[in-house]
Amino acid sequence: MLVLCFLAIPLSLICLGCILLYAERKLISKGFRSYFWPHTKGVVKDMRHDSYIVTGLIGLSGTGIGPIRQTDVLYLYQYHVAGKEYQTEDYCFGARGEMRRATYMIGQHVPVYYNPNNPAEAVIERGLKATALIGLLPLSLGLGGLLVFEYLQ
């Protein structure tokens, strides 16, 4: 019975990691494929502020958990592929937090990486992002826990 208790934590972490990776499978796939996408020159056409509520640390020293208002700046990018005009707000294949690194001005030129099979699908920053791979953390911890458990027996 005690053995099952010690195994429950690493097995739970492995399950959580697998669930998170499965939930982000499309972002991971598109992020990987975007490394091979061609690019074109785009221009920032518009920007807007978007706010939403998330759960996070609150209090003077971060001792509580509660609602926090986050505000992101979303940009509208315009670009042309094969003479056709496209627009996107997608910065990358990751969570909204990845967009915080974007600091552009309206009219600024930016590289736009687009899917050659579907030019309407495009991003400003290509590749895999850590937020899409967050499931690797509990998966690794769970597998490490199983190795430690096996070693201790």
Q: Which pLDDT tens digits describe the chain residue by residue (153 residues)?
A: 666 667 888 888 888 888 888 888 888 889 889 999 999 999 999 888 777 777 777 777 767 788 877 777 788 999 999 999 999 988 888 766 666 667 788 999 999 999 999 999 999 888 887 777 777 888 888 888 888 777 777
Predicted confidence at residue 151, as pLDDT, reads 75
Same domain, 88 and 111: yes
Same domain, 114 and 138: no
Looking at the structure, do residues 14 and 48 belong to the same domain, yes or no? no
Q: What is residue 41's predicted lDDT score, i.e. its pLDDT?
A: 95
Residues 67 and 117 both lie in one domain: yes
Q: Are residues 99 and 150 in the same domain?
A: no
Check residue 149 and give its pLDDT.
Answer: 74
Does some domain include residue 30?
Answer: no
Distance from C-alpha of 18 to C-alpha of 6, rounded to nearest angstrom: 20
Same domain, 97 and 145: no
Q: Are residues 101 and 138 in the same domain?
A: no
Domain residues for the domain of 13 are: 1-24+134-153
Look at residue 85 in the predicted model and tell me its pLDDT: 96
Task: Verify that 75 and 18 share a domain, yes or no.
Answer: no
99 in a structural domain: yes
| SS3 per-residue string spanning the chain | CHHHHHHHHHHHHHHHHHHHHHHCHHHHHHHHHHHHCCEEEEEEEEEEEEEEEEEEEECCCCCEEEEEEEEEEEEEEEEEECCEEEEECCCCCCCHHHHHHCCCCCCCEEEEEEECCEEEEEECCCCCCHHHHCCHHHHHHHHHHHHHHHHHC
What is the pLDDT, as a whole number, of residue 122? 94
Q: Are residues 121 and 47 in the same domain?
A: yes
Q: How many domains does the chain have?
A: 2
